[in-house]
Chain A
Amino acid sequence: MSNTDASIEEPVLVYDRISANRHTTGLLMAGFIILIGGIVWLILFLWGLSASVLPGVLRFVGLILIAYAIIASTRIVLSIAGAHEVTKKEEWEFVRRVENLSIGAGLPMPRTWVLEDSAPNAFATGTNPESSHIVVTRGLLEKLEPIELESVLAHELSHIGNYDTRVMTVVTVLVGAIALISDFALRATFWGAGKRPSNRGRNSGAAIVIVLVIMLVVAILAPIVAQVMRFSVSRRREYLADASGALLCRNPDALARALEKIAEDPEPLEAANKATAHLYIYNPLREHKSFFNGLFNTHPPTEERVRLLRAM
Chain B
Amino acid sequence: MSAGVTFIIVVVAIIMVVGLLLVGAYNGLVRRRIRVREAWSGIDVQLKRRASLIPNLVETVNGYAAHEQEVLENVTQARAGLQQASGPTQSAQADNILTQALGHLFAVAEAYPGLKANENLLELQRELTDTEDKIAYARQFYNTNVSGYNQKLQTFPTVIIGNMFGFRPEEFYEAETREETEVSFS
Q: Which residues of A approach B to under 8 Å, CB–CB? A: 92, 96-97, 99-101, 103-106, 145-147, 248, 250-251, 257
Contacts and interface: CB of A to CB of B under 8 A. Distances in A.
Given A99-B134, A100-B133, A147 B183 contact: yes
17 contacts: A96-B133, A100-B130, A100-B136, A103-B42, A103-B46, A103-B134, A103-B138, A103-B141, A104-B138, A105-B141, A106-B39, A106-B42, A106-B141, A145-B183, A147-B181, A147-B182, A147-B183
Contact of B137 (A92, A104, A145, A147): A104
Interface of B: 39, 42, 46, 126, 130, 133-134, 136-138, 140-141, 145, 178, 180-183, 185
A100 B183 contact: no
A33 to B, nearest CB: 28
Given A99-B134, A103-B46, A147-B180, 9 more contacts: A100-B133, A100-B136, A103-B134, A104-B137, A106-B42, A106-B141, A145-B183, A146-B181, A257-B185
A101 B183 contact: no
Given A147-B182, A251-B180, A104 B130 contact: no
Given A96-B130, A106-B39, A101 B182 contact: no
B10 to A, nearest CB: 35
Contacts of B39: 106
Contacts of B134: 99-100, 103
Given A96-B130, A99-B134, A104 B183 contact: no
Among all A-B residue pairs, the 5 with the closest Cβ atoms: A104-B137, A103-B137, A100-B137, A104-B140, A106-B141
Nearest to B182: A147
A248 B144 CA distance: 11
Contacts of B181: 146-147
Contacts of B126: 92
Contacts of A257: 185
A246 to B, nearest CB: 13
A92 B123 CA distance: 12
B141 A104 contact: yes
B130 A101 contact: no
B5 to A, nearest CB: 39
Nearest to A147: B180
Contacts of A147: 180-183
A96 B126 CA distance: 11
B137 A101 contact: yes
Contacts of A104: 137-138, 140-141
A70 B102 CA distance: 53
